[in-house]
Structure 1
Amino acid sequence: MRKITYCIISGALYLTTFSCKKDFLEKPPSVDITEDTVFSRIRNAETFLWSTYAACIPSGFPTGWSANSSGGIVAGMLAAASDEGDIADSWPGANRFNEGQWNANDNPEDDFNAHYVAIRRTNIFMERIDDVPDAEDAYKSQLKAEAQFLRALQYFELVKRYGGVPIIDRRMLNSDELKVPRNALEDCINFIVSDCDAALPALAPNQTGFLRGRIHKGAALALKSRVLLYAASPLFNTGQPYKEASGDLVQMLCMGEVDDTRWQKAADAAKAVLDWAEAGNSRLITDQGVENNYEYAWSEPDNAEIILANKSNGWWGIYSDYFNFTMPPGVYGGWYGISVPLNFVKLYEKRTGGPQTWPASGDNINQLYAELDPRFKQSIGYNGAKWNNETGNLQIFIKPDGKPAPHGGDRGGGQWMRKFLPQAVNWSSYGTTLNWPVFRLAEFYLNYAEALNEAKGPVQEVYDAINEIRGRSGMPILSGLDQDALRTAIRNERAVELAFEEHRFWDVRRWKTAGDEGVMKGDMYGLRLKPIDGSTDFHFDQVVFESRVWDDKMYLYPFPNNEVYKQYLVQNPGW
């Protein structure tokens, strides 16, 4: 194996990267000359593939000021556009979602054309890699398989946002019909699965050391698991779309009929990931103690639980856009942070099991926080919680003079997102290494539990999977639930375990629960704390800090109008 080098060898590669920005199916006349240069040597071809990685591997960390230059959402993380989070400042992109102020001309989360720029790169690579003269066939087959996975990943990123999309499975030429219509959703799902299956034989079993971040069999199995889970879920696994539609559009929005066997296929795909892991390729973090296992899994780069991470951004400086956007006010260079609504905090059970009781007001907030699932303090910063050795304990309350404490307390949810803001970030280190987890093993225990419960009900294997996740964080095991109650427990466990990893935003869509009160719609609650004279505890009041807007048309994104106006794409309903 050759060590990955993240560089661009010439301006010609930039032409290939950006040539499709104006129209995602155009092909510039000069690209063939550039291709001949790129595919004349394996080193050039590898470099082209590494830049294709950068175009294809998603990241949830915001790095810029526009949808086509940043992970996450413009100036924030996607968590802030769901019940996981909130940004009090009005201008970041998440608030356009929460206020219903986004549309086919203005989507702060996605750049539709960029997906097809990336897909075009994968198609070029797959067609031309065999022309490279100075590489062994087995290695070229492996690289082609990596590109095929990247294509599948990009199509999944499209499908979860838009439903059925145009399938472009080859390099387009000027002589081709460039206005390719949408395919049926089922065709897209099958295409993604087919790409995963086709890539598997030539992929490395795993990648270790400096090759972490390269595609391997576990990543392909993980993508297959995720896409089949989405295909089996209520949003897609139906004959009645989420919004009224007719004709061919129906097949672009859903699978056409309810088929419960899709849940078993999703369960089998998730089990394949777990089997791959158990063969020595990955494991849950269980050796750091129940108070630290979870934090280690998200803060330690390349730990054993990470199946695939985005490695394009390694070191993050303390004044990087990411930390500016996400650190709480008063913590290093934080501008506004991501506060966590009480709606989401209520999903954390008590350490002893079962829901916490949250009265409208009280004088025992310290006790209520201390009683929560150990993952709470490893994910969320709350009043009195230690941030790190340098900052000390957070102060999030309203002072007697009515002004907020050093770390806020008068806006938003009353708690701060702490996950993905490692304790290692301080004035001495001036930053840290942090990678976005594209696939983390814990997800696939929960994928398996969810799919198998839907396929067979509360069989022992369902309990075994969910209790693996709960047990490593010291939470009591689940048992004796019927299918409906276990479904609720699994969904709750996903919210807690996968918090802030860009699952919740999509999970509530695929479950068709986004429109439920307090999820993506209606009142968002926060806590307002005030000191109690003569006590170390605080008085708290629940307050409504925001009412959010939801319309069922939002279950899928609108295609950008500049593409719809070309009259080859049928717009999603309601937009």
Structure 2
Amino acid sequence: MKTKKYTLLLILASLFVGCEDYLDKIDNIEALTELDIFTDVNLAEDYLDAGYTYLITETTAKSNQPDILSGLVMSDEGYPGRYNNSVQERYQSYANGDYLFLMDLNLGVQQRDTPNLAVRYSESWKGIRVVNTFLENVDLIENADEETINGLVGQAYFLRAFYYHLLTKRHGGVIYLTENLDLNSDLARVRESYESNLENILIDLEQAIDLLPVNWTAGNIGRPTKGAAMALKSRVTLFAASPLANTNNDPQKWVDAATAASDLINYASQNGLYQLIDASDAINLDVGHGGADLFVSEPEKLNNYRKVFVGPGKSKVLPQEAIFMEVNDNTIGNGGLVPLPRTYLTSGYDIVKGNFNPMNIGATANFVEKFETKNGLAIEDDPSYNDQEPFINRDPRFYNAILYDGVPWIVTDSAPLNTSGVADLAVINENGVLGVDLHDPTSPANQLWRVRNSTGYRIRKWVPNGFFLRNCCNAEEDFYVNNMIFRMSEIYLNYAEAANEAYGPAGKAPGQSLSSLDAVNVIRNRVGMPNVNGMYTGSTSTLRERIRNERAIEFCFEAMRYDDIRRWKIAHLEENKKVEFLEMRWQGGVSAIYPTGFSFENVEQVNLKKTFIEKNYWWPIPSSELEAVPDFGQTDNW
């Protein structure tokens, strides 16, 4: 088989028929043909496995590089503390609305300086090519039974649907190829509509659901299952029902989304799958003023919830509510696991030393305000909440997600910047100086790689206490981080949102025992939070706002919020464009006004505010593609 090289870039270059990339990895290329690959089930499976290598989700690290402009920063959740490379420049391009510049970075720019959002576009087309080549040749396999073939074909349909969801949720309709283009094909292709692509995604997902197993046997654990395909269908149909895509507010779209989520809830129940871990004791955390758990690194009562995300030990055991999860088995010099990529996004120099590009994304102060009090009220509705003591008596998930000033935190045993072992995030601390965990704007240029926090809040959710990595081998890494793509909490909240729009707060999808309100309360109750307060449940519109807030809290720093605020068409609102930092200042001692001795103030960073207008809801296509194939057509308004 001859190795061909094509000149067209990105979309078309990745779609031509062929398996050259696979053959290039085989030593004896001359002796191996396409027929050899696809008649043998082991080689065919290896070929399909290459389709996974192009899959870049919202928090996947491409080539082990953390995302230089992740969804955590593009939403209102966080802001990065890295100052010595292109992170700040890329953020500013995004904040200025220069999306076409960012998409065009995929050419001629080092991988570490290119946001995953640009790389994801071209990589998705490469993955689609692999899947289509496999599906076109799967009938050649001779040495496999029907069950094995079905499992492979089901994975292929799942992957193709996943890739197209990644493309269409950002760019709108593209071209849905169910077979690769031949060199002699007409390249003058016109973009299809989002609705047309959606129809094809759902066709592929129905085939994946039909063919994939309930569970995989040992050796294949981690591959997508029937439940994973159902979860992707739930996510896709919810996006399609939302205001961004459902411009006419077709009620049937909400019914379809409610049904997709309801089907998975019932399926999980019937098969004993994806059960939520009971962490209801978390509500008993002693986190009042002077509480015993308030300044504890890993409170015992929070352990059941926290272990869904991180914990001690290297063994990779799927949490019982995980539906689909990245393998996350990157290794370093001594063979130990490196929990990428979310740890690198949310940790800094003290935890990831050496040339490992930590981002130290910190939580924005305006986002942290979304965490309710443990009474089940928004902070503005709870008279017991004191903005001069903002860390106390919050939703238990606050203490899993947020690392605030004064919490003991082991970062390294090798020359830390902060030698106290306690998070120090005060603008003016008890010693009258800048907290050592905060970015120091007076740092010399050659020290900016010592990444520190900017926002006044660090992210605890993805950083196990005690983990650190220095260079390639000097580390304390006996920890796991679960990079989940789908977990059952999402399905309950997908159902809650869609059922509320389709049937109202108390309504239920046919065949489902849960109402929209019930489903929200399932998620709240599992950490001991009370049911949604009655003041928020009187109508579809009032419950809608609490469901949206619930998603913000449950999925914080999982890179889901950016697509949520887009699909709800609220990304342009002032509250979602602004960036606020928490400024803590020592006031000389405890007083009635300052119960901790510190003052607390959320300060807007006007220079970081995002520009967001109508055209920013859908992303443009790289300029190179339009130069190669002008008929493809640019995204509207770009």
Aligned to 2:556: 499
1:25 corresponds in structure 2 to: 15
Q: In 2, Cα distance between the equivalents of 1:50 and 1:232?
A: 32
Measured after TM superposition, the shift of residue 468 of structure 1 is: 0.6
- Structure 1: gaps (5+ residues): 1-10, 239-256
Aligned residue for 2:250?
259
SS at the partner of 1:539? strand
Does the aligned pair in 1 maintain the 2:59–2:559 contact within 8 Å? yes
Report the alpha carbon displacement of residue 568 of structure 1 after superposing the two structures with TM: 2.4
**1:370 pairs with one of 380, 384, 392:** 392
Q: Deviations over 1:311-359 (max 9, x none)?
A: 1544576697865553134445385511111110111111112122599
- Map of 1:464 onto structure 2: 518
Kept in 2, the 8 Å contact 1:458–1:486? The answer is yes
Counterpart for residue 530 of structure 2: 476
The 1:275/1:516 distance shift into structure 2, 3 A limit, reads same
Q: Which runs of 5+ in 2 are unaligned?
A: 24-31, 107-114, 283-301, 413-419, 441-452, 470-474, 508-514, 591-595
Q: Is the 8 A contact 1:295 1:379 kept in 2?
A: no
**C-alpha separation between the residues in 1 aligned to 2:158 and 2:381?**
46
- The answer as to 2:88 corresponding to 1:96 is no
The one-letter amino acid of 1:447's match is: N
Q: Which moved more, 1:461-470 or 1:108-117?
A: 108-117
Instruction: Give the equivalent residue in structure 1 for 2:434.
Output: 404
Distance, in Å, in 2 between the alignment partners of 1:271 and 1:212 is 25
Q: Note closer, same or farther for the CA distance 1:527–1:544 as it changes in structure 2 (3 Å cut).
A: same
C-alpha separation in 2, matches of 1:52 and 1:467: 38
Say which is worse superposed, 485-494 or 548-557, in terms of deviation.
548-557
How much has 1:70 moved relative to structure 2? Answer: 5.0
Distance 1:481 1:358 in 2: 16
Change (3 A) 1:209 1:372: farther
Question: 1:174: Cα distance to partner?
Answer: 1.7
SS in structure 2 of the partner of residue 528 of structure 1: strand
More RCO (CA 8 Å, sep 6+): 2
Distance (Å, rounded) in 1 between the aligned partners of 2:217 and 2:76 = 36
User: What is the correspondence of 1:145-544 to structure 2 with a 5 Å cutoff?
Assistant: 145-207=154-216, 210-238=219-247, 257-278=248-269, 279-287=271-279, 289-290=281-282, 291-299=302-310, 301=316, 302-311=318-327, 313-315=329-331, 323-333=343-353, 335-357=358-380, 365=388, 367-388=389-410, 392-399=421-428, 403-408=433-438, 412-423=454-465, 425-426=467-468, 429-430=476-477, 432-459=479-506, 461-478=515-532, 479=534, 480-519=537-576, 521=577, 523-535=578-590, 537-544=597-604
Contact 2:366 2:579 in 1 (8 A): yes
Q: How far, CA to CA, are the matches of 2:327 and 2:146 in structure 1?
A: 27
What is the aligned counterpart of 2:129 among 115, 120, 123?
Answer: 120
Q: Is the 8 A contact 1:156 1:227 kept in 2?
A: yes
Inter-partner Cα distance in structure 1 for 2:566 and 2:560: 10
Q: Does structure 2 retain, via aligned residues, the 8 Å contact 1:528–1:541?
A: yes
2:583–2:600 CA contact under 8 A, matched in 1: yes
User: C-alpha offsets along residues 338-387 of structure 1, whole Å, 9 cap, x if unaligned?
Assistant: 1111110111111112122599xx9974x321221110110111112343
Q: Which moved more, 1:285-294 or 1:383-392?
A: 383-392
Task: Give the root-mean-square deviation of aligned CA atoms.
Answer: 3.2
- On the 8 A contact 1:364/1:537 being kept in 2, the answer is no
**Aligned pair in 2 of structure 1 residues 363, 356: CA closer, same or farther (>3 Å)?**
closer
Corresponding pairs, count: 535
Please give the per-residue CA displacement for 1:152-189, whole angstroms capped at 9, x wherever unaligned.
11011111011111010013222322333211111111
Q: Structure 2: which amino acid aligns with 1:285?
A: I
Whether the 8 Å contact between 2:279 and 2:527 is mirrored in structure 1 is no
The one-letter amino acid of 1:350's match is T
TM-score normalised per structure 2: 0.77
Distance 1:335 1:44 in 2: 37
The code of the aligned residue for 1:274 comes to I
* Counterpart AA for 1:554: N
Per the TM alignment, residue 493 of structure 1 is displaced from its structure 2 partner at its CA by 0.2
Which range is displaced more, 33-42 or 168-177?
33-42
- TM-aligned CA distance change 1:409 to 1:106, over 3 Å: closer
Identify which range, 30-39 or 110-119, moves more after superposition. Answer: 30-39
